[in-house]
Amino acid sequence: MTNETALGAEKLAKRLTLPAKMDPIVLSGSQVRLEPLEVSRDSKALFAVSNGSTIEIPGAELNVYDADDLIWRYMNSGPFADLEAFEFYLQTLIDSPNGLAMCVFDSENNLQVGVATFMNNFPEHLKVELGSIWYSPIVQGKGFNLEATYLMLRHAFELGYRRVEWKCNALNERSRRAALRMGFGFEGIQEYHFIVKGANRDTAWFRMLDCEWDERRLMLEKMLGKVM
């Protein structure tokens, strides 16, 4: 396939029907449920599991921890001094004209444990990014990110997107490993991409294409231990 390959009429028509701000949707799996983020409903619960204080949820407890080290170091914002600052941050995600911020719930306990966002949505090019992703350390390493990413990828490709992007600070080895593990292809490093928190940020670019999705879907479903 070359860059000049013509697209079919059905695929091209999607560019005219997909909105710049994705329609709200609930995405449900076995471990997680993603719902459109709401400050009034979610902010206090999310702040409580991301501000470095002791976390207690059914079946798990985490003592005081370094929130910058475990969550915010490579994010564009955070850590946050208080709930008001945190709510302002959440509202900016919600207000993005081409983004849909999702609150990630622990389905078993119906508790808010993280955020994942459809962002930089460009229907005219049938591409969207999964970003501004973070999880409370109380659930990190438990497969929540894997299932949430699977659900978001599935939704995007079912809508007709051709390309789903994943970008992160090039120093964020954990995010880079996660992208590769979930089947995103590495495209390179964009140097001097941003200035974040007063420091240079080089950005690592990853992507998944619609022509790869059937294979990647089966791989992810096998990793999840189920067929959905």
73-119 pLDDT, tens digit each: 999 999 999 999 999 999 999 999 999 999 999 999 999 999 999 99
Residue 12 has pLDDT above 80, yes or no: yes
Tell me, which fold does domain 9-163 have in CATH? Aminopeptidase (3.40.630)
pLDDT, average across residues 42-61: 97
Q: 158-174: per-residue pLDDT in tens? A: 999 999 999 999 999 99
Answer whether residue 135 shows pLDDT above 70: yes
Across the chain, mean pLDDT equals: 96
One-letter amino acid for residue 61 of the chain:
E
Distance CA 37, CA 35 (A): 6
Mean pLDDT of 214-227: 91
Q: pTM score, two decimals?
A: 0.96
Torsion of CA 73, 26, 49, 194, to 10 degrees: 10
C-alpha 196 chain-centroid distance: 19
Quick one: what percent of the chain has pLDDT higher than 90?
A: 94
Give CA–CA dist 121/228, Å, rounded.
26
Per-residue pLDDT at 228: 47
Q: 3: pLDDT confidence band, cut at 50, 70 and 90?
A: low
Residue 2 has pLDDT above 90, yes or no: no
- Please report which confidence band the pLDDT of residue 227 belongs to, taking 50, 70 and 90 as the band edges: very low
- For 10, 67, 84, 135, the CA distances from 47, given in Å and listed in that order, are 43, 11, 10, 11
pLDDT band at residue 223 using 50, 70 and 90 as cut-offs:
very high
Residue 79, preceding bond cis, omega within 30 degrees?
yes
Pairing of strands 163-169, 100-106: unpaired
Q: What is the mean pLDDT of the segment spanning 170-191? A: 98
How much is the pLDDT for 85? Answer: 98
Cα–Cα distance between 164 and 215 in angstroms, integer? 15
